[in-house]
Amino acid sequence: MTRPEYSEAAMQKPDIPHNEEERTRAIQNLGMIYSPSEARFDRITRLVCRHFDIDTALVTIVYKEIQWFKSLQGLNACSTDREVSFCGHAILSDEPLIVENALLDPRFMDNPLVVDGPRIRFYAGQPVRDAFGITIGTLCVIDSVPRAFSQEDRQDLRDFARLVEVELAKPIEDNVVSRFVRSLNENQRSLLIDPIVGSWNRRGFEALLDKELEYALHKGEDLSLLHVKLSSFDLILNRFGHDRIVDFTKFTASIIRDMLPNGSSVGSLGADAFVAVCSGMTNSEVARLLEQLKARFGETTLETHGVKALVDVDINFLSLSGDELQCTAVQAVDRLLSLS
């Protein structure tokens, strides 16, 4: 995909850190570029939004020519070009980068992210490090209006960033998902990710599901598939328009990720439907999960940019065991969707 050209006279590009090669190796070892969003980071960015009463919070990884969003609330993209990123500047210091009004800051006043969408006015970004102390990205918040940011706010942002670092320092689990991700190079992963929702796209989910089926058959474990459809999709689309339907779709995906057991995966089937795979669950555990999902959606009202709505979903599931696991992912997904 061709990258947009930006005039050097119209913006200040971030400098390259002195340890860029070391950073690149550290980020590659994490295997998080072009990988799905994870519930453990989504929980932090949701907390950050509520704490600061702000719509947009991100966990970012600044890598080569891009800035990858490992978790995001309030934006409809999974990455931006590094040369226009605020976080590219933030990783150059140990202290948080605070921009209370980008229109008054000569470094950013002509930045495309300020002049055009998302029209950033306020930015606060705290660098985050991996387990070896190497700065790989930031935890940041942005707003479309100028804001003040007190010393207490700065300390709170540091504390939240520390939570991200705790997660980054945890050993990578050895499961089907982690092995699948590491078997792919970055270009391959980039083709298997839904760029809006941050989950596997259908092609990526089915490629992963083939591995899950093979492993479950080998281990003699059951495999459970879920189909979650946004039944209020047309109502929300007609009432709020396409820009807001993306928010509701991402919100639906984040709830599913948050409720699923560790080692589960979510795939996007478009704007109004998701599939998920969970391994090793009993029928009673699956039934309990379905009830918990229905209860969570039933009690949750999404508010985004002043818009409030309930997110209604229909949920179906398919349990596979024994000889039923001797099928392709495409066959399994088709069978699941036929239950709707």
- In whole angstroms, what is the distance from residue 264 CA to residue 175 CA? 10
**7, pLDDT greater than 60:** no
- Residue 38, classed as helix, strand or coil, is coil
Say how many Å lie between the first and final Cα of the chain, rounded: 36
Q: What is the largest CA-CA distance in the chain?
A: 65
Q: What is the pLDDT of residues 83-92, one digit of tens each?
A: 999 999 999 9
Q: What is the pLDDT of residues 304-322, one digit of tens each?
A: 666 677 778 999 999 999 9
- In whole angstroms, what is the distance from residue 117 CA to residue 246 CA? 15
Query: What pLDDT does 1 receive?
Result: 38
Q: Would you say 148 and 164 are in contact if contact means Cβ atoms under 8 Å apart?
A: no
Residue 213: phi and psi, rounded to 5, are: -65, -45
Number of CB atoms found within 10 A of residue 115's CB: 15
Extents of the domains making up the chain: 8-169, 176-337
Place 10 in a pLDDT band, splitting at 50, 70 and 90. Answer: low
Residues in a beta bridge with 67: 62, 80
**65, pLDDT greater than 70:** yes
- The chain-wide mean pLDDT, for the chain, equals 92
Query: What pLDDT does 260 receive?
Result: 96
Q: State pTM to two decimals.
A: 0.91
Percentage of the chain beyond pLDDT 90 is 79
Query: What pLDDT does 211 receive?
Result: 98
- In whole angstroms, what is the distance from residue 13 CA to residue 6 CA? 10
Alpha helices in 281-323 (DSSP H): 283-298
Task: Find the mean pLDDT for residues 215-231.
Answer: 95
> CATH fold of 176-337, please?
Alpha-Beta Plaits (3.30.70)
Which architecture does CATH list for 8-169?
2-Layer Sandwich (3.30)
Q: Would you say 229 and 340 are in contact if contact means Cβ atoms under 8 Å apart?
A: yes
Query: What pLDDT does 234 receive?
Result: 82
**238, pLDDT greater than 90:** no
Of the listed ranges 59-68, 173-182, 231-240, 321-330, the one predicted with least confidence: 231-240
Beta strands in the chain (DSSP E): 56-63, 66-73, 79-81, 97-99, 122-129, 135-143, 223-230, 265-268, 273-279, 301-304, 307-310, 313-320
**276, pLDDT greater than 80:** yes
Q: Is 1 exposed, middle or buried (0-12, 13-18, 19+ CB in 10 A)?
A: exposed
**3, pLDDT greater than 80:** no
The CA angle 313-333-220, to the nearest 5 degrees, is 110
**17, pLDDT greater than 90:** yes
